[in-house]
C-alpha cells in the first residue's frame, strides 16, 4: 500500500515543525555566514566560534573588507577553512550590504559557497517561500530508512530532495527536510536508533524490517 506521506509526517511536524535551526544566528547575515562555515563541520562548533567572528565582522560590509588571512584567526579550526574564507570574502564583496542578501534559490546558489542545501536552509529560516527541501546528512540517512527514498539514493542529495518534493505538498517543503533532520539528530541515530519512541515508526520501512 502506498504511504500517504502528508498524513504520515503530521506527527513529525507536530514534534519538530517551526523549530529554529540549531545554528544560533541573530540575523540573515549571520545565518548565511554560519551556514557556509557549518558545511562538513558541526553546528555546535560554529555556534562556539560565532560570537568572536561577528564581534569583528558585525555586517556584510565589514566582512567585505576582510582578507583570508584576517579570517584565519577566527575560522582556522573549521574544516575546509581556507576555501570557506575565500568564499566568504568574495560573497561579502558581491552582496555588499546585509539588505542585499538574495531571497531566491537561483540567486542564492549563484553566490560562492552556497549549494541547494544551504540555500534551502536560508530560505526556510528567513520565512521565505520554499523552492526545495533541506537535505543534509541526517536526511540522507533517515529518508531511505523511512522509505520515502531508496537506499541507493543516499549518496545523491538532489535525488532524495526530488523524491520528498514529489511525495509532500509544497506547503510542507520548508518544514519537511528540517523535521526529518531533527529526527535524525535526536532519535534516528546512525547506530541504535530509538525506534520505539519515534513518531514515524508506524510507516518506517527500517522499523518494519527489523522484526518489530
As given in the structure block, the three cell numbers for residue 196 are 520505539
DSSP 8-state code for residue 211: T
pLDDT for the residue numbered 2: 84
**CATH number of the domain at 28-125, please?**
1.10.340.30
**33-60 pLDDT per residue, tens:** 999 999 999 999 999 999 999 999 999 9
As given in the structure block, the three cell numbers for residue 39 are 558545511
Output the DSSP codes for 153-201: GGG-HHHHHHHHHHHS-GGGHHHHHHHHHHHHHHTS-SSS--GGG-TTT
Whole-structure pTM value = 0.95
Other Cβ atoms less than 10 A from the Cβ of 131: the count is 18
Every domain of the chain and the residues it spans: 5-18+132-209, 28-125
Question: What is the C-alpha radius of gyration for the chain, rounded to an integer number of angstroms?
Answer: 18
**74-112 pLDDT per residue, tens:** 999 999 999 999 999 999 999 999 999 999 999 999 999
Can you give the length of the chain in residues?
212
Say whether domain 5-18+132-209 belongs to CATH 1.10.1670.10.
yes
As given in the structure block, the three cell numbers for residue 5 are 506521506
- Give the burial string for 34-56 (b: 16+ CB within 10 Å, else e): bbbbbbebebeebeebbeebbee
Other Cβ atoms less than 10 A from the Cβ of 83: the count is 14
Decide if 5-18+132-209 and 28-125 have a common fold. Answer: no
Q: Which of 195, 202, 199 is nearest to 15 (CA)?
A: 199
Amino acid at each position: 500500500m502506498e504511504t500517504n506521506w502528508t498524513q504520515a509526517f503530521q506527527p513529525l511536524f507536530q514534534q519538530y515543525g517551526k523549530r529554529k535551526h540549531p545554528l544560533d544566528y541573530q540575523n540573515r547575515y549571520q545565518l548565511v555566514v554560519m551556514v557556509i562555515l557549518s558545511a562538513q563541520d558541526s553546528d555546535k562548533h560554529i555556534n562556539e566560534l560565532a560570537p568572536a567572528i561577528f564581534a569583528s565582522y558585525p555586517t556584510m560590509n565589514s566582512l567585505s573588507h576582510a582578507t583570508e588571512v584576517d579570517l584565519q584567526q577566527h575560522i582556522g579550526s573549521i574544516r575546509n577553512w581556507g576555501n570557506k574564507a575565500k568564499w566568504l570574502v568574495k560573497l561579502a564583496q558581491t552582496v555588499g550590504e546585509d539588505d542585499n542578501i538574495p531571497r531566491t534559490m537561483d540567486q542564492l546558489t549563484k553566490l560562492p559557497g552556497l549549494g541547494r542545501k544551504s540555500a534551502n536552509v536560508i530560505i526556510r529560516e528567513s520565512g521565505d517561500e520554499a523552492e526545495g527541501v533541506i537535505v543534509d546528512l541526517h536526511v540522507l540517512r533517515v529518508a531511505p530508512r523511512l522509505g520515502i527514498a531508496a537506499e541507493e539514493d543516499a549518496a545523491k542529495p538532489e535525488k532524495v530532495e526530488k523524491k520528498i518534493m514529489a511525495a509532500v505538498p509544497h506547503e510542507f517543503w520548508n518544514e519537511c527536510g528540517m523535521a526529518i533532520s531533527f529526527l535524525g539528530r535526536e532519535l534516528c541515530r546512525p547506530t541504535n536508533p530509538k525506534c520505539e519512541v519515534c513518531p514515524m515508526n508506524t510507516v518506517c520501512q527500517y522499523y518494519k524490517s527489523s522484526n518489530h
